[in-house]
Amino acid sequence: MTSPPQKLACITLDVEADLANSRGRIRLFDEPDLLERYVRILEKHDVRLTAFLVTSVLERYGADILELAKRIPTEFGVHSHRHDPRTACTRAEIRLAVQTFREFLGKDPAGFRAPIGAITAEGLHALMDYGFRFDSSLYPSIRFGKNGYWNPHMPIVPFRVTREGADLMECPITALPTVRVMFALSYVKLLGWRAYRALLALFPLPDMAVFLSHPHDLYRPKFDDGVRGLEKRAILRNAQRGMDIFERVLIRLQEQGYRFVHMGEMCAAARQTALRQVRLARGRGAVQPFPSPPI
């Protein structure tokens, strides 16, 4: 008799400066009460956290990040060095991020996530060359605007990206099946918990689910640069309830039988299943697996 598949959930945090904060501040680490509340929620629900670091923030917040890892089992990956989508996937930027990560933690990173999901073929080749084992950049959905993407054809579950002599696990940020709404704290806040819970009931998550969050999703960000109008209203919707909504998501996952794991463990489990494979081609004009063009 075959045992039922495991249900694994990976809770991820992109550790970057708060949205539209030109001073590069992160309130989660600047305000002890916020960090303490966040840690208590993670402890309460036995969460194993995967944190993707913008390595330039380590100079200011390195001690706070290490303190978080002392209390919560945390797996660290790289989220670029400068969080500039235009350069984040260049070989030079990845090399700098790897060097900074290595100096901080004394080891090489295993995982990567590109800012705004803008992974490129160049970036994937560089990740393989530098020995990364997994990437979690892909938004398998549609978004319009300056930072848009068009990936409704891509899987919502882990798959392998291969080339001659190397491969890499891609763990997409989960999108709800059919409707392709992203499984991310920002989307839950925007739609409201009741509406999002109804969507989860109608379009259940896959057995391996990756949840996206940022520090600024957990509280009301302090804007000082470039956010206004409808975008600002959308970001601020349910902003004061970010921590509460985050905990509701964790409770829902537990009720559905999910176990919280690091992304490295999810990748290892995925490799034991029949995975889709996407071949990464070289050369100008080659068809690549992640077109994700701005729309």
**What pLDDT digit, counting tens, does each position of 89-146 carry?**
999 999 999 999 999 999 999 999 999 998 988 999 999 999 999 999 999 999 887 7
Q: Give 264's contacts (C-beta < 8 A, 6+ positions apart).
A: 50, 75, 110, 111, 133, 134
Identify the pLDDT of residue 147.
Answer: 75
Query: pLDDT exceeding 70 applies to what percent of the chain?
Result: 91
Closest CA to 20 of 225, 179, 272: 225
What mean pLDDT do residues 80-86 have? 93
Higher pLDDT, 192 or 21: 192
Q: Answer yes or no: is pLDDT of 293 > 60.
A: no
Q: Which domains does the chain have, with CATH numbers?
A: 8-279 (3.20.20.370)
- Name the pLDDT band for 219 (thresholds 50, 70, 90): very high
Higher pLDDT, 142 or 200: 200
Identify the pLDDT of residue 2.
Answer: 42
How would you label 34-44 residue by residue, b for 16+ Cβ within 10 Å and e otherwise? bbebbbebbee
**How far is residue 56's CA from residue 39's CA, in Å, rounded to a whole number?**
23
SS3 content of the chain, % helix, strand, coil (to 5): 40, 15, 45
